[in-house]
Amino acid sequence: MKSAATMQSSGRIDDLLPSILRHENVSRVSDEGIYILDRRLLPFERKEVFCPTWRECVSAIKNMVTQGGGPLEVALNAIIHTSRTAPGELKEAVEALSLSRPTNTTMKREIAAVYSGYERGGDIERLCMEVFNRYDRYYDLMSDIGESLINDGDGILTRCFPEHTFMLSCAKARRNGKRIRVYVPETRPYLQGAHLTEPCLREMGIECFLITDAMPSHFMREGKINLYMTAADLAFQSGIVVNKTGTLSDAVSALHYGIPYYAFSVSPSDSSEDIVIEYREGNDVRRIGNVQIASEDATALYPCFDIIDPEFVSGIITPEGIYEGNSRWNRNR
């Protein structure tokens, strides 16, 4: 059985995406349950985590089997599967999935809207497919804008795994004959830069350099980086961006060296009162995979996200255009 998403995707962006971002390789649903590509094992092993019910999907999302836009696709597939096999559990499933990663408010909002449409009599599978297709359109529109900000010869810094919008922006820039190179910080502790971003860009034939997390300023000072672009775990109309720890450090240096910083966000929220910064276990810092890199007795801190204040943000790229926020935010650019 094909993935629910694949059945209706337009295919327009699929040809440009690296393989792990195509719907069927993020998560797929079958009669038996939900399959999720385990991003934690990439690039060395390609293996799916099988979830018989939404309950295992909640655990998988909590355990970082997938991240970024992945949890939304998993949640939609979990809802489709639950509606087919245990419709009485739908409300409980939606609530538990919503809470599986506190910072992922996009997933929370979209599945709440799906459930609310269902309560008003909508067909739940159709409502889920509409979300899949709408996001494909968003990515296409946002990457058109991203591409327009890239110049021939640019050295672009990113951080963590910037997913569809950034990858498509680079792919389109390349298709338009722009020569670019991308600097990719490895992004400890989970190493999404080393494990996901660098292999994707290489697969796409884009010149890229893997660096450690503290090196971006080095290459900014040397004039080798002249554009900074990331995804956003959260963004706000006030101009605040919330993204993987390290983004603030890059953004402060970018402002100092006159390098514009753009974040991609489908829908910046109008209130920034609900910023919840997850702290994860110190073990994630003391270990790399199963390898101990520090003493068990070391006290380690791991705040997952940085809050990047508006003064550092040149613009938030949305499907409707570049959001430039309030006057305070525009002051520095």
Cβ atoms of residues 324 and 247 within 8 Å: no
3-state class (DSSP) for residue 23: helix
Instruction: Please tell me whether residue 186 binds a copy of itself under the rule CB under 8 A.
Output: yes
Among 6, 30, 53, 249, binds a copy of itself (CB under 8 A): 249
**Candidate ranges 52-60, 261-269, 303-311, 320-328; the one touching a copy of itself (CB under 8 A):** 303-311
Instruction: Please tell me whether residue 205 binds a copy of itself under the rule CB under 8 A.
Output: no
Strand partners, 155: 181
Q: Which residue has the tokens 């100092």?
A: 256
Q: How far is the CB of 198 from a copy of itself (least distance, A)?
A: 5
Instruction: Please tell me whether residue 289 binds a copy of itself under the rule CB under 8 A.
Output: yes
CB atoms within 10 A of CB 113: 13
Interacting residues with a copy of itself between 43 and 102 (CB under 8 A)? 43-44
Q: How far is the CB of 285 from a copy of itself (least distance, A)?
A: 6
Closest by alpha carbon to 209, among 327, 65, 38, 219?
219
Q: Which residue has the tokens 């101009």?
A: 239
Instruction: Please tell me whether residue 286 binds a copy of itself under the rule CB under 8 A.
Output: yes
- d(CA 146, CA 142) in angstroms, rounded, equals 6
Burial annotation 54-82 (CB, 10 A radius, 16+ → b, else e): bbbbbebbeebbbbbbbbbbbbbbbbbbb
Tokens of 12: 């327009």
Cβ atoms of residues 91 and 115 within 8 Å: yes
**140, 154, 233, 250: which is the annotated catalytic residue?**
233
Tokens of 186: 């490895």
Residues 6+ apart with CB under 8 A from 132: 4, 5, 8, 9, 23, 73, 76
Among 85, 282, 322, 330, binds a copy of itself (CB under 8 A): 282
C-alpha angle 227/232/237, rounded to 5°?
100
Q: How many residues bind a copy of itself (CB under 8 A)?
A: 55
Q: How far is the CB of 9 from a copy of itself (least distance, A)?
A: 28
Among 216, 268, 310, 325, binds a copy of itself (CB under 8 A): 216
**Candidate ranges 116-124, 135-143, 235-243, 279-287; the one touching a copy of itself (CB under 8 A):** 279-287
Cβ proximity to a copy of itself, 141 vs 294, nearer residue: 294
Among 300, 322, 324, 330, binds a copy of itself (CB under 8 A): 300
Among 7, 113, 276, 293, binds a copy of itself (CB under 8 A): 293
233 is catalytic: yes
What dihedral do alpha carbons 9, 145, 193, 41 form, nearest 10°? 0
Residues making contact with a copy of itself (CB under 8 A): 43-44, 185-189, 191, 194-195, 198-199, 202, 207-218, 221, 245-246, 248-250, 252-253, 255-256, 282, 285-286, 288-289, 291-295, 297-303, 306-307, 309
What positions carry a catalytic annotation?
233
